Amino acid sequence: MLGHLKRLLDCGNHPRENYKEIILLSVAYVGGGVPTSFRAPGAYHMARWMAKAIYAVKIMLFHDQLEMSRRELAGIRRVAFFVTMVYAKYWNEAMIPSYAAKNDLDFITDVKRICDDGVASVAERAMRRHLLSENLIGLAIFDDRISPEQKAEMVEGMKRPSTTKNPQRPESKTPINLNRPLSAFCSVRSMQVLKSLLGGQQPTFLELSPETWNTDSFFKCAKKRAGVLKVTNDLAERGIALIQRFLGNRTKDERQTQFLLKLARLHTKAVLKKTKAELKKVLE
């Protein structure tokens, strides 16, 4: 785990500073000895798990200097262990669309292998809210970590009929079967995401051997588009918070709210380049 965390740190590709901070803290916690200064705890928001995760690891790093009861220390230690040994790795790969399917199964496997039963049970319940939908499993076709043999099995799985209800989450209350291959989650519905990436065209590369996909123009086009998909809700959360603060200071009337949103959209289209010089041209 330490080696993997250090590789994540060395890659330098961190969309936000707190992504990098959680890796730095995790490396320090597992004994990596990364020299770094410690930031003061940031804003603690009920909707932001990252803030809680960072705060828990910091508390454990300095727990000898803090007064805590045995119960408090045990609880914080469980959270910090989960964050550093499991969460940090998978959270920093959550921005890669094609990794999502395999990482979902690997995440649950690691939680059950590394963490205690209580943590594993809570994590599994949370994963059931979004685990491996038939629609999005098709993105795993572009995961370079999956073998050609497994991808061939997924293609066969895409020929199966889809579920009739198309549930938003798994309905079964039985434990998640970690031995099921990714192909077991595929159906004809899995083909839709591939068609969408190709603008409605058929993903004809599925008729070829997976070893040759990287030379197919349709596959390369779909893979490129899949690579820029936004698969986390981070941008959406920040955008919603920004517009709520903006509108909250100006109007409480829903009609005025919709008018301001349309006006902002028109202005965004009018100003192609977000520079001061371009803005002056529009205002002149």
Domain positions in the chain are 2-92, 136-227, 234-283
CA gyration radius, the chain? 23
Cβ(203)–Cβ(194) below 8 Å: yes
Residue 152 has pLDDT above 70, yes or no: yes
- Give, as one character, the DSSP assignment of residue 75: H
CA dihedral (113, 118, 124, 125) in degrees, to 10, reads 180
Q: What is the mean pLDDT of the chain?
A: 78
Look at 87-91, 95-99, 230-234 and tell me which has the smallest mean pLDDT: 230-234
The answer to whether the predicted template modeling score (pTM) of the entire model surpasses 0.95 is no
CA distance 261 to 179: 48
Residue 118 has pLDDT above 90, yes or no: no
Choice between 89 and 167, residue whose per-residue pLDDT is larger: 89
Contacts of 152 (CB under 8 A, 6+ apart): 209, 210
Residue 137 has pLDDT above 70, yes or no: yes
pLDDT tens-digit profile of 167-223?
445 454 545 666 678 888 888 888 888 999 988 889 999 999 999 999 999 999 999
Query: Which residue from 123, 107, 253, 134 is spatially nearest to 193, judged by alpha carbons?
Result: 134
Residue 249 has pLDDT above 80, yes or no: no
CA distance 63 to 12: 29
CA distance 151 to 148: 5
CA distance 89 to 100: 13
pLDDT at position 227 is: 87
Cβ(205)–Cβ(218) below 8 Å: yes
Structure-block tokens of residue 45? 């928001």
Look at 56-65, 79-88, 272-281 and tell me which has the smallest mean pLDDT: 272-281
pLDDT at position 215 is: 92
